[in-house]
Structure 1
Amino acid sequence: MNNSSLYFRSFLIMLALVTVGFFWILLPYYAALFWATALAVLFHPVQRRLQSKFRGRGNLAAGITLLIVLLIVIIPMILIGAALIQEIATVYKRLVSGEFNLGMYFTQIANAMPPSVHSVLSTLGVGDLSGIQERLTQGAVAGGRFVATQAVSLGQNTAQLLIGLGVMLYVLFFLLRDGAQLARHSKQLIPLSEEHKQHFIRKFATVIRATVKGNIVVAITQGALGGLMFWVLGIQGALLWGVVMTLLSLLPAVGAALIWAPVAVYFLVTGAIMQGIVLTLFGVLVIGLIDNILRPILVGKDTKLPDWVILVSTLGGLSVFGLNGFVIGPLAAALFMSAWDLFPSAVRLYQDDPNGNDTKYDGKS
């Protein structure tokens, strides 16, 4: 082994070690850094327009963009989070006291069912509805206790949350100001052909935009409209149910209907026909169509992942990264599929030019 080869391999080992060490140090703030990057990608067009308007004054443009992020993203999220924690505490107290009893609501629905439905349930082996009622009540209390515990834990970690928020905003300022330069420098470090680099960068930006600006904004809109309708109909815990509908709207094949549809059924079978009809029509014609109306506007014609890939990657991301997995999961899935899409062309490039000279890539796998 000659000296140059030894030095190069030693350098690669050292590079790997210092890179792993650096990422290990940053690990406690991975969420802050990730969301700073995501927000920088989302608000890059705003930063670019402001910078051109102020004739290259990057600090001023980044400061104004950061203020916009604070006003339309950070502050509303803080206010909603505080109100949500308070409402969770209220709902949990009602669950423990028995004032809010899912089992009782289930019994009312069951009693309103025609005898033929009871016969079918008995045939299926679920004729004893009292056991189901008891399990629903116990499950609701246990779920409420878990959510309340998480909310209390979140409140106790206020200092850590504030530090993470500060880190995110601080990094976001520099990413807004120097993001284009950092992207160009990072692209030079990637040992791929120029066309492959552009493909990955476009895919990363597209998925961030589609997931955050598309999926999350659509989900928030659906949850907000659902919570508003719950409030109009006088349903307790409208804010909490709106947040739950927002989270469920992020999952394909699940959606906000998992919340509003049972409530509409409850209204219909317990005699509140008008409320049931209004909620059903609103859920189908407004909440259900929001996705088809808003997504093309927010995402445009960007290619999205198959629904089953989004569902599995989102659930997997949640289990690994917590709430941040709503974005990290689909992003990882998109980059995985993009890399394998490029694999055949990369093999052909190597076969055509094994010496590694840059060869023109037509963008087709």
Structure 2
Amino acid sequence: MRSRQRVLAGLVVATGLATAILLWGVVSTVFFAITVAYVLYPLRRRLVDRGFGRRTAAAASTSVAFLAVAVLIVPPLWSLYRRRRALLSYLRSLPDSVSVELFGTPVSVELGTVVAFLRRSLADLAVAAAGETPVLGLKLFLFALLVYAVLLRPSAAPAVVFRTVPEPYHDVVRQLHVRVRDTLYAIYVLQGATALGTFAIALVVFWALGYEAAFGLAVVAGILQFVPVIGPSVLVALVAATDLVAGDVTGAVTVAVLGFVFVGFLPDAVIRPQLAPHTADIPASLYFVGFTGGVLSVGLVGFIAGPLVVALFVETVDLLVADRSTAETRPG
């Protein structure tokens, strides 16, 4: 029997690797869908408790996920499309060099190389976006289908896991489940709520300061909230630097002060503390390492996979330390 189980386990590993290799183009979509379904399960369960059928609850939860992804993707793309000519005109109007006086000494800052790089990047991005539109639509359909399938039968995967893992290790599985749930909640719910608050505040601030692209700047500020440590402060710094280069010193100082206080600091100070107790306790440094390493290793989906892997590593270390402490204090 043990030999048969080893053979079956080997077959599972082999077929899993073959599946991952052949379906590598949609692995990130599958991973994204599973993590989103993980976060939406409490909503699905609440709808079922209120009398909705499991199909209706799964469909409603999937609609929430699809709309959230659409809200995240469509506004920045639409904003860039509407302002493409203005953005290109602005890049063409930038001088090749700017002279700035620093401590009484004129310093020349070369901008020609940077501007040329931004122009090429925008052109490449436009071509890539046009070519990837059908693929993106197919992946969105696959994402919605997978989220619905997981939420339709949410108990199927845990049942397989608990049947496969020996009973003495079930507590480890439960601990890892709690860590995954709290980490994904931190990434999606906490970061999402903070990003939404950042967008609203940034829209008011940039509109009040008279920026024509206030909506686009607010969208970018909200998206940058998902970038740990740096956040929307880098956008405020870029906007202030642009005003400074244009000779508007008063505007640069004003947007820097108001931006750093209301856009960069206020959402983190007000929204995040309200939701932080329900999330995984991961140091900001480890979260940043996971985010950066994940994005550089596997692309955009790395902003979820990186912190999640780091959280699981921290949890397994805690489990090992706790188990060794228990073993040392156990008599005999």
Residue 118 (str. 1) matches residue 104 (str. 2): yes
Q: How do 1:1-365 and structure 2 match up within 5 A?
A: 4=1, 6-54=3-51, 57-71=53-67, 73-87=68-82, 89-90=84-85, 92-96=87-91, 98-99=92-93, 101=94, 106-107=98-99, 110-111=100-101, 117-119=103-105, 129-130=107-108, 132=109, 134=110, 136-191=111-166, 193-223=169-199, 225-235=201-211, 237-264=213-240, 270=247, 273=250, 276-277=253-254, 280-346=257-323
TM-score between the two structures when normalised by the length of structure 2: 0.84
Shift of the alpha carbon at 1:310?
Answer: 1.6
- For 1:219, the aligned partner's letter is A
Letter in 2 for 1:139: V
SS of the residue 1:157 aligns to: helix
The answer for unaligned runs of 5 or more in structure 1 is 120-126, 354-365
Task: Pick closer, same or farther for the CA change 1:155–1:77 going to 2, 3 Å.
Answer: farther
Measured in 2, the distance between the counterparts of 1:249 and 1:64 equals: 27
For structure 2, the 5+ residue unaligned runs are none
Summarize the Cα distance change of 1:265–1:346 in structure 2 as closer, same or farther, 3 Å threshold.
Answer: same
Whole-angstrom distance in 1 between the partners of 2:220 and 2:72? 15
Could you say what secondary structure the match of 2:299 adopts? Answer: helix
Secondary structure of 1:54's counterpart equals coil
Q: How far is the alpha carbon of 1:247 from its aligned partner? A: 4.5
How many equivalent pairs are there? 328
State the alpha-carbon separation in 2 of the partners of residues 280 and 289 from structure 1. Answer: 12
Q: Does the 8 A contact of 2:206 with 2:214 survive in 1?
A: yes
| TM-score normalised according to structure 1 size | 0.77
Work out whether residues 37 and 175 of structure 1, in 8 Å CA contact, stay in contact via their aligned partners in 2.
Answer: yes
Identity fraction in percent: 21
Taking the aligned partners of 1:139 and 1:276, their CA distance within structure 2 comes to 24
Task: For residue 59 of structure 1, report the CA deviation from its aligned partner.
Answer: 0.6
Distance 1:30 1:287 in 2: 34
**Offset of residue 291 of structure 1:** 0.9
Distance, in Å, in 1 between the alignment partners of 2:318 and 2:267 is 31
Tell me which residue corresponds to 1:123. Answer: none
Answer yes or no: is the 8 Å Cα contact 2:182–2:278 preserved in 1: no
Answer whether contact 1:87 1:237 (CA < 8 A) is retained. no
Secondary structure class of the residue paired with 1:193: helix
Alpha-carbon deviation of 1:268? 7.3
Shift of the 13–315 alpha-carbon distance from structure 1 to 2, 3 Å rule, reads same
Cα RMSD, aligned residues only: 3.2
1:146, distance to aligned residue in structure 2 (A): 1.4
Change (3 A) 1:87 1:342: farther
Q: Which residue identity lines up with residue 164 of structure 1 in the other structure?
A: K
Higher alpha-carbon Rg: 1
Residue pair 2:240, 2:256 contacting (<8 A) in 1 also: yes
Residue 322 to residue 118, structure 1, CA distance change in 2 (3 Å): farther
